[in-house]
Amino acid sequence: MDGLKLPQSTAPGGVAGIDREQFELFLIHEGRLLDDRRFEEWMELFTEDGLYWIPSTPNQADPYKIASLFFDDRELMKTRIDRLRHPRIHIQTPPSRTNHMVSNVIVEEADEAAGTYLVSSSMLMSECRLDIQRHFTGRQFHRIERAGDSFRIRLKRVHLINCDSPFEAMAVPI
Amino acid sequence: MFDGTPDEISRLIEPGRVHRRVYTDPAIFDLEMSRIFGRTWIFVGHDSQVVKPGDYITTEIGRQPVILIRHSDGNTHVLLNRCAHRGPKVCNEPCGHAKALTCLYHGWTYDTDGTLIDVSMPEGTAKGFDKSQFSLASVARTGRYRGFIFANLVKDGPSFDDFLGPMKANIDDLVDRAPDGEILLDAGMHRYFFRGNWKLQVENVLDSYHVPYSHASTVNKKGEQFSRREGDKEGAKVIDDQNTDKTADVWKGRRSFVVNFGHGWTSNTELNEKGRSSPAYDAYKEALAAKVGPERMAEILTPEFHNSLLYPNTSIMGLNIHIRVIRPVAVDLTEVMVYPVRLKGAPESMNFGNIRLLNVTHSAASFVQTDDLESFRRTQAGLRSEQSDWIDISRGLGEEKADDHYNATSESAMHEMVIRAQYDAWRQYMCDA
């Protein structure tokens, strides 16, 4: 559960002396897989014990004591994605179109020897379905580890600024 | 022109069908707010949401904002959230803690039982101004059962005891599962909205007929839904494994029940109770047996109810346990709040499991609820069609039977008796001008 925790604050600019671009490109790639509805490949970015968490309250300490919008391990991710592929998923008939933007990338923590990093970024996912466009925005945190010449995600945690507001149904991962 | 006379109301409901205006007409919605939500018992909150004196939550009864607050003497009060001076909402947050409630506008300050204790610049008050006449208004009546707090805006009408009646058993069924005999609604909530009438969600909670088609995307190749309870290896059998166009016989065997006031429930979901096991569930069983003994534990863990509805707008789910409150906002806009339930005295791991599985079934991003929300949205959109005035709710009409065990009326849960019973209650409320 320690992996779910985040640092209180980071120096401006984050950890010095680390190339931010490699992380930025990885996060852009991650968002693009979702936008292209390549959900299985998106899931494969996660480690076997990877977690995907979107809390429903600001400053939520953990996903166990309080309800969450999403709190998926790999097994749940797979169930979610199998459902997204089902011909009778009414909430995706027609499907959503989404566009992810990632910006303001900060390396919050780095252990170069171990190849593990905590990277935060500002995210905006716009979604359009049946003439209704809406936007999900907030700061996201990725705990990632180096895997060859890319990375794998151990935790993706998204702090939506409206996480405690009522939502219209959400079908695709953010 | 619609005046809301009993004649006009009665013409909207016929045996086995309901007029589309019941879902689409803003004038009918306004009447519902005064004649149903303005008159009957509405769930406002739970003891565990306001534990210490000064703790409060804010909610609505129909469209009227209220505060549920615990006073210094330990009693809870349900107050209208409107300053007695010029009317601003006094409490502005979903929940909080306050020694006293001060209105932001001119600083009038109320005690936690609503009594006006301070008027700023008191030298300016009119001659004869009587502070005691300017408390935050209390609701006319409150009713409590096992931590559930209900409020009623009028003093006349059925007592809370009469209103709740046999539905006490449905609350007991949930609360008794807690080793300490208390539940806690302190694990946050799921909130969502849909562009449809509130009754669409109310009708849906006891509608087992929609599940095989609406929720097909939650069912695996064996026809089973994913597991929704801690300790289950598989979920409910919904679709026939030989023929995916057919509903599973076990699902078709479900029953539904109705009693007075539009309340009702559906029978339990048949699962492999003997095979139910996980470290969290086994530890929970141990904790429960230690408190109530093995015989009572066996009774408690034999599920009786799948979903229960306290009409008009509160549902208790017994499968992946939660309390659901349906809040009408406008004729075509509804908010739903889903509260995870923690069982007091259960191991934390068991409560974690319940909270985690509820994310999967009933968050705004869940696997089950999202397809329902799409059904409600499409229904509201479809009902714009004026080609036919009627919505059909006739399945099983005439097949209702008295059930002696529950002193209720029973029918197949694949039919629409429960919806007809809701409209019987609706007509009664609405015709009482």
Contacts of B273 (CB under 8 A, 6+ apart): B301, B302, B303
Nearest-CA distance from A114 to chain B in Å?
31
Number of A/B CB contacts below 8 angstroms equals 100
Q: Going edge to edge, which strands form the sheet with B141-145?
A: B42-46, B148-152, B141-145
Average pLDDT over residues B135-162: 98
pLDDT tens across the length of chain A (174 residues): 556 778 776 778 889 899 999 999 999 999 999 999 999 999 999 999 999 999 999 999 999 999 999 999 999 999 999 999 999 999 999 999 999 999 999 999 999 999 999 999 999 999 999 999 999 999 999 999 999 999 999 999 999 999 999 999 999 999
* Beta bridge mates, A128: A97, A133
Residue pair A155/A51 in contact (Cβ under 8 Å)? The answer is yes
Place of tokens 């065990």: B405
Distances (CA, A) of B367 to A77, A89, A171, B405, B417: 11, 9, 8, 35, 27
Compute and round to an integer the Cα radius of gyration of chain A. 16
Q: Test A56 with B363 for CB contact under 8 angstroms.
A: yes
Among the partner-chain residues A57, A90, A169, the one whose CB lies closest to the CB of B364 is: A169
Give B348's contacts in chain A (Cβ within 8 Å): 64
- pLDDT, tens digit (0-9, with 9 covering 90-100), for B119-131: 999 999 999 999 9
| Delimiting residues of CATH 3.90.380.10 domain(s) in chain B | 164-431
Q: Do A65 and B193 touch (CB under 8 A)?
A: no
Question: For residue range B204-254, what is the model confidence (pLDDT) as tens digits?
Answer: 999 999 999 999 888 888 888 888 889 998 888 999 888 888 899 999 999
Q: Which helix (H) or strand (E) holds A43?
A: helix A39-44
**Averaged over B155-173, what is the pLDDT?**
97
- Is A42 a domain residue? yes
Question: Which residues from chain B sit within 8 angstroms of residue A169, using beta carbons?
Answer: 192, 194, 364-365, 369-370, 373-374
> Tell me, what CATH number does A83's domain have?
3.10.450.50
How many angstroms separate the CA of residue B192 from the nearest CA in chain A?
A: 4
> In this complex, which of B190, B369, B375 lies closest to A67 when CB atoms are compared?
B190
Asked if B352's CB is within 8 angstroms of A56's CB, the reply is no
Residues 6 or more apart from B123 whose CB is under 8 A from it? none
| pTM for the full predicted model | 0.96
Residue A173 lies in a domain: no
State how far the Cα of A64 lies from the Cα of B353, in Å rounded to an integer.
8
Q: Are B370 and A76 in contact (CB < 8 Å)?
A: no
- Listed in sequence order, the residues at least 6 apart from B428 whose beta carbon sits closer than 8 Å to its beta carbon are none
Mean pLDDT confidence for B14-34: 97
pLDDT tens digit string along B353-389?
999 999 999 999 999 999 999 999 999 999 999 999 9
Optimal mutation site among B245, B342, B360, B370, interface A, most CBs of chain A within 10 A: B370
pLDDT at position B227: 84
For the segment B46-99, what is each residue's pLDDT rounded down to a tens digit? 999 999 999 999 999 999 999 999 999 999 999 999 999 999 999 999 999 999
Task: Give the distance from residue B96's alpha carbon to the nearest chain A alpha carbon, in angstroms.
Answer: 14
pLDDT band with cut points at 50, 70 and 90 for residue B255: very high
CA distance A171 to chain B (A): 6
Span(s) in chain B for CATH 2.102.10.10: 42-145
Where does residue B116 fall: left (phi above 0), alpha (psi -120 to 50 degrees), or beta otherwise? Answer: beta
A-chain residues near B222 (CB < 8 A):
none
Buried b (16+ CB within 10 A) or exposed e, A99-133: ebebeebbbbebeeeeebbbbbbebebebebeeee
Q: Which of A52, A53, A62, A69 to mutate to test the interface with B (most CBs of B within 10 A)?
A: A69
Shortest CA distance from A87: residue in chain B? B217
Distance CA B339, CA B94 (A): 14
Task: Identify all chain A residues contacting B340, using CB atoms and an 8 Å cutoff.
Answer: 67
- The reply to whether residue A166 touches residue B373, judged by beta carbons under 8 angstroms, is no
Residue A29 placed within a domain: yes
For residue A89, the chain B residues in CB contact (below 8 A) are 217, 371
Q: How far apart are CA B336 and CA B60, in angstroms?
A: 12
**A132 to chain B: nearest residue by CA?**
B195
Question: Which residue on chain A is closest to B338 by alpha carbon?
Answer: A67
* Domain annotation covers residue A171: no
Integer Cα distance of B101 and B103 in angstroms: 7
Residue in A66, A91, A96 to test binding to B, most B beta-carbons within 10 Å: A91
Residue A45 domain-assigned?
yes
Instruction: Measure in Å the smallest separation between the Cα of B120 and chain A Cα atoms.
Output: 35
The shortest C-alpha distance from A163 to chain B (Å) reads 10
In-domain check, residue A11? no
ipTM of the prediction: 0.94
For B92-114, give one letter per residue: b (16+ CB within 10 A) or e. Answer: eeeeeebeebbbeeeebbbbbbb
B255 phi/psi in degrees, rounded to 5: -115, 155
pLDDT digits (tens, 9 = 90+) for B326-335: 999 999 999 9
* Distance (Å) from the alpha carbon of A14 to chain B's nearest alpha carbon: 32
- Does domain B164-431 fall under CATH 3.90.380.10? My reply is yes
Q: Which residue range forms the structural domain that includes residue A92?
A: 17-160
* Domain boundaries B42-145, corresponding CATH code: 2.102.10.10
Is A91 close to B216, i.e. CB distance below 8 A?
no
In the prediction, which pLDDT does A2 show? 58
